[in-house]
Amino acid sequence: MARNPIFYCCLVAAVAVSAQAAPQDKLDNLDVDEILNSDRLLKSYIQCMLDADDGKCTAEGKEIKSRLPKVFATGCGDCTPSHLERAVKALKHITDKYPAEWAKLKAKFDRTGEYTKQHAETWKQIGVSV
């Protein structure tokens, strides 16, 4: 029985395209606006970030929490453009409307204030006062 060469060409093309496609990030579908527009949701996420017990966190909350130390350390320097845009939106909202919670987050993820000082000017240039 002869193999269909068109089938193999399509199979090779499909594999090549899927290999080149960027992997989906766990947070790409997170609706930041929905969270920021709901005090209940936002406070739940903030509590997740502050609490040592991941039992109160959603899967997305756990993912954000795992990334926060690096975001603080690098000033989101290695964030994708999409992640940076959402980080800026979230930081502006939290620093403006929830300064006490922002202070707690900084105390947890930037104990010495080193990262805040190091990246303050960069954040200021994009409209966030850290």
Show Cβ contacts of residue 127 under 8 Å, excluding neighbours closer than 6 positions.
Answer: 88, 92
- Report if residue 104 sits inside a domain: yes
- Report if residue 84 sits inside a domain: yes
Rounded to two decimals, what is the model's pTM? 0.74
Number of folded domains that form the chain = 1
- Report if residue 44 sits inside a domain: yes
- Report if residue 17 sits inside a domain: no
Measured from the Cβ of residue 4, the count of other Cβ atoms closer than 10 Å reads 9
| Residue-level pLDDT at 94 | 94
Joined tokens for residue 69? 């130390």
pLDDT category at 128 given cuts 50, 70, 90 is confident
- pLDDT greater than 70 at residue 6: no
Q: Using the 8-state DSSP alphabet, how is residue 84 labeled? A: H
CATH number at residue 108: 1.10.2080.10
114 is in which domain, residue-wise? 28-125
- Report if residue 22 sits inside a domain: no
- Report if residue 18 sits inside a domain: no
| Residue-level pLDDT at 3 | 52
pLDDT category at 10 given cuts 50, 70, 90 is very low
- Report if residue 55 sits inside a domain: yes
Q: Which of 73, 46, 39 is nearest to 61 (CA)?
A: 46
